[in-house]
């Protein structure tokens, strides 16, 4: 839970929505197709996302970018996206030159902050670091020096629980556009006049599984879009929403 709070504290400064009304005529939900679970330094990662005007109509051929900022150093990078008219998705290939935490946002129909990504060292770099620690301990033992603190290597998975993964998906899938939650700063910023507050919301897993998989099958007149969530994503979102 501490890491979950840290994610949102860092995100608070970055989760700013701005809409180009002249170009787009309103607001849009930006929904990431798949949120990465692990990323290595310099690994090329394809990020895909949909832009749905008013949560419904695909917004095509927008100028789009993914902007990255390394939290520790402040280094910034920008990558331009391409639109696939057949799949109605935008694709951007990005890479992260440093390990550590990265803030990032999708720029298309406004600026849409995404969850913090934790980029880990490559296996070769991690092995070098483990080797360095081993030699340091060996030399300390020979010369009778106090043992130096050993470096803790990062986890290969970014999210340690379904709840934490679900909280990140709440941002990445665009739920923050139309729904409020007290754990997510600035959520519901677009349509606050009729935004449902999900802070104290809970429901049965059976109902939420059906609702998140196909909202129209539960409520034909709903404004909730079908986000194409898979079973793992649905399970994680339920864990986040039903968390006490």
- Domain segments of the chain as ranges: 2-120+155-241
- Residue 236 pLDDT grade (very low, low, confident, very high; cuts 50, 70, 90): very high
What is the arithmetic mean of pLDDT over 231-241? 95
Q: What is the pLDDT of residues 201-212, one digit of tens each?
A: 889 999 999 999
- C-alpha span between 112 and 109 (Å, rounded): 9
Other CB atoms within a 10 A radius of the CB of residue 178 amount to: 22
The confidence score (pLDDT) of residue 126 equals 47
* Block residue for tokens 């005529």: 25
When the pLDDT of each residue in the chain is averaged and rounded to a whole number, the result is: 80
The H or E element spanning position 233 is helix 231-241
- Residue 244 pLDDT grade (very low, low, confident, very high; cuts 50, 70, 90): low
Q: Which CATH class is domain 2-120+155-241?
A: mainly beta
Local structure of 49: helix, strand or coil: strand
pTM assigned to the model: 0.76
The H or E element spanning position 227 is none
Side-chain half-sphere CA neighbours of 167 within 13 A? 25
Give the DSSP letter string of 76-100.
Answer: EEEEE-EEETTTTEEEEEE--SS-E
Q: Give the length of the chain.
A: 244
The confidence score (pLDDT) of residue 94 equals 97
């Amino acid at each position: 839970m501490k890491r979950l709070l840290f994610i949102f504290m860092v995100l608070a400064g970055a989760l700013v929505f701005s809409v180009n009304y002249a170009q787009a005529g309103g607001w849009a939900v930006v929904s990431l197709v798949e949120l990465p679970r692990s990323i290595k330094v310099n690994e090329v990662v394809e990020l895909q996302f949909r832009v749905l005007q008013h949560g419904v109509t695909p917004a095509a051929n927008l100028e789009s970018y993914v902007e990255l900022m390394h939290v520790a150093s402040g280094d910034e990078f920008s990558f331009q996206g391409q639109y696939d008219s057949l799949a109605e998705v935008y694709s951007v290939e990005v890479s992260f030159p440093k390990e550590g935490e990265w803030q990032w946002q999708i720029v298309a129909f406004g600026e849409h902050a995404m969850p913090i990504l934790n980029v880990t060292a490559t296996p070769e770099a991690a092995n070098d670091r483990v080797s360095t620690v081993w030699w340091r301990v060996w030399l300390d033992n020979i010369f009778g020096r106090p043992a130096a603190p050993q470096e803790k290597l990062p986890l290969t998975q970014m999210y340690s629980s379904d709840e934490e993964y679900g909280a990140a998906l709440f941002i990445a899938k665009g739920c923050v556009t139309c729904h409020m939650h007290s754990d997510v700063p600035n959520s519901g910023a677009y349509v606050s006049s009729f935004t449902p507050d999900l802070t104290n919301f809970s429901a049965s897993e059976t109902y939420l599984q059906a609702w998140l998989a196909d909202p129209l099958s539960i409520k034909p007149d709903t404004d909730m879009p079908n986000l194409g969530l898979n079973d793992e994503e649905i399970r994680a979102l339920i864990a986040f929403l039903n968390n006490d």
